[in-house]
Structure formats: structure tokens, C-alpha cells
């Protein structure tokens, strides 16, 4: 396994910002530049998830480090590749940001600040405070169901379980580098953290809604999404913990 291989970090920075990107040549450079402008003391890693377009080159030109997956593996595996990278290179914190400009980089310092209180994950949340986000009816129902399920399991109110805008601690990096779902990973990852005795907090953020590209979840995939994630959550409760 990978832990025998020790990699040298190329910079002295403690935080790695991970951007999974699949065919995002239109927006990736802007996303990377925005992040670099707003967050100076972090390295940026674009995980090129088997794109067919020039995502990798655009990302590299805008100053990000780029790793390229040999084929399109899905958002979960792409993000996990970033966690693996962060783990091997010894980063203390990792932040996950979408490659389509949805997540405001100005909020990254607030997410990281939330980890200072000992939490292992800070979720950029759309629903803790009223924001401009108006999901469609079906999506709103799904969001409510997961919120209810996760809240029930972890024993505290969790509003935004599907947000992909997150910062995690070293401990969580190590855990999620080993255990992370390959598709629709957000909800299940919360249960994984909880089951391994880690905590998470929600940080209210205002997001931008879909400038370029579509949601990774189409209407047709919605049913699969609901079934898969619900099953995954229920299974996660009875799954053995790491090392058990």
C-alpha cells in the first residue's frame, strides 16, 4: 500500500486546496486564480478527473499543481486522490472546492478557522442561515431526508449534508484517504467521520449558483442518488470501523 512511500512536500504550506475537475476548461483557470487571490498560504491541487478537454493545461498555467487520473473516476475518487496526495505529502489541512466556480474562495479562511476549535471537518453550509439558494422541489425533499437521517445518526442537527465545500483536519485526511465513496460521497463521508469518533461543524456560506456546466446530478440520476446514498448511510451504520 501507499504508506511505505514517503513523498517530499515541495512547499512549506500546511493547507492543500483540492479542486476536482472534469472537463472544466472554461472555468478552471478562473477558479484557481480566484482562490490564489483570496488564500495566499495554501497550495492548490487540481485533480483532473480524466478530462477530454484542456482542463489540466489551463489549471497548470494558472498556477495550480495538477494530478491527472487515467480515466474519469467520478467526483468521490477524484477528491479522494486529493486526500491521498495531502496525506502522503503531510498537509495538516485539506479544503475541497468545486471546479465550477460554485464555492466562494473568500469563505475558505472561515472554514479553516472553524477547524481550529478541534473539529475534524468544517462544512460550508447553505442552510444554517437563510441564503439565496432555492433548490428545486425534488432536490429540497432529498436534502431534507438526508439532513434528517444524518442528524438522527450523529445525534445533532445537521443542515447541509450534501455540500461539497469542506475543510478537513489531518486526522480526517488520513481516514478519508482510505475510506471514501467513489460517487456521491458527501453524505456518507459524514457518517464515516462520526463512526470514527470525529466531529464536524457547519459554517454558513453564500454560494454562487451554476455559472458554467451542469450539476453532477441530473434528474435521471436523482433516483439513483437517493437510493445509493440512503443505502450507503444505512450500511455505514453497521459497517465495521477502520482497523476493527
Partner 1 sequence: MMEIATHLRVIIGILCFALVGIIIELIRQNRLKEHYAIIWLLTAVSIFIFGIWPDTLNMISRIVRLHHLTTLFMVAFLFLLAIVLHFTLAISQIFDRNRRLTQEVAWLRFELEQLREPLRD
Which C-beta is closer to partner 1: that of 53 or that of 206? 53
Which C-beta is closer to partner 1: that of 58 or that of 126? 58
Find the shortest distance in angstroms from Cβ 66 to partner 1: 7
- Report the distance separating Cα 94 and Cα 21, nearest Å: 16
Per-residue buried b or exposed e for 171-182, using 16+ beta carbons within 10 Å of the residue's own CB: ebbbbbbbbbbe
Find the shortest distance in angstroms from Cβ 12 to partner 1: 16
Which C-beta is closer to partner 1: that of 20 or that of 142? 20
Find the shortest distance in angstroms from Cβ 77 to partner 1: 6
Q: To 10 degrees, the CA torsion angle through 57, 60, 61, 62?
A: 130
Which C-beta is closer to partner 1: that of 87 or that of 126? 87
Backbone angles phi, psi at 181, to 5 degrees: -65, 150
Find the shortest distance in angstroms from Cβ 148 to partner 1: 29
- Report the distance separating Cα 240 and Cα 244, nearest Å: 6
Find the shortest distance in angstroms from Cβ 142 to partner 1: 26
In this structure, are strands 166-169 and 93-96 parallel, antiparallel, or unpaired? Answer: antiparallel
Could you list the residues that contact partner 1 (CB under 8 A)?
Answer: 1-2, 7, 10, 47, 65-71, 73, 77, 80-81, 84-85, 88, 182
**For residues 195 and 241, is the Cβ–Cβ distance under 8 A?**
yes
Find the shortest distance in angstroms from Cβ 84 to partner 1: 6
Per-residue buried b or exposed e for 119-152, using 16+ beta carbons within 10 Å of the residue's own CB: bbbbbbbbbbeeeeeeeeeebeebbebbbebbee
Which C-beta is closer to partner 1: that of 83 or that of 127? 83
Which C-beta is closer to partner 1: that of 11 or that of 208? 11
Burial of 197 (0-12, 13-18, 19+ CB in 10 A): exposed
Amino acid at each position: 500500500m501507499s504508506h511505505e512511500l514517503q513523498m517530499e512536500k515541495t512547499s512549506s504550506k500546511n493547507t492543500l486546496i483540492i479542486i476536482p475537475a472534469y472537463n472544466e476548461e472554461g472555468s478552471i483557470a478562473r477558479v484557481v486564480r480566484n482562490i490564489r487571490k483570496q488564500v495566499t498560504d495554501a497550495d492548490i491541487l487540481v485533480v483532473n478527473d480524466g478530462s477530454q478537454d484542456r482542463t489540466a493545461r489551463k489549471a497548470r498555467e494558472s498556477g495550480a499543481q495538477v494530478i491527472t487520473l487515467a480515466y474519469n473516476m467520478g467526483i468521490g475518487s477524484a477528491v479522494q486522490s486529493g486526500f491521498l496526495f495531502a496525506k502522503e505529502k503531510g498537509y495538516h489541512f485539506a479544503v475541497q472546492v468545486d471546479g465550477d466556480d460554485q464555492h466562494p474562495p473568500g469563505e475558505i479562511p472561515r472554514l479553516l478557522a472553524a477547524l481550529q476549535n478541534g473539529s475534524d471537518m468544517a462544512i460550508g453550509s447553505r442552510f444554517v442561515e437563510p441564503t439565496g439558494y432555492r433548490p428545486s422541489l425534488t432536490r429540497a425533499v432529498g436534502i431534507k431526508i438526508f439532513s434528517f437521517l444524518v442528524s438522527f445518526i450523529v445525534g445533532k442537527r445537521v443542515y447541509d449534508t450534501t455540500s461539497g465545500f469542506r475543510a478537513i483536519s489531518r486526522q480526517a485526511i488520513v481516514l478519508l484517504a482510505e475510506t471514501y465513496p467513489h460517487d456521491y460521497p458527501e453524505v456518507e463521508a459524514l457518517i464515516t467521520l462520526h463512526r470514527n469518533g470525529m466531529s464536524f461543524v457547519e459554517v454558513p456560506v453564500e454560494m454562487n449558483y451554476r455559472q458554467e456546466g451542469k450539476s453532477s446530478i441530473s434528474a435521471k440520476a436523482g433516483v439513483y442518488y437517493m437510493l445509493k446514498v440512503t443505502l450507503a448511510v444505512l450500511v455505514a451504520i453497521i459497517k465495521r470501523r477502520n482497523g476493527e
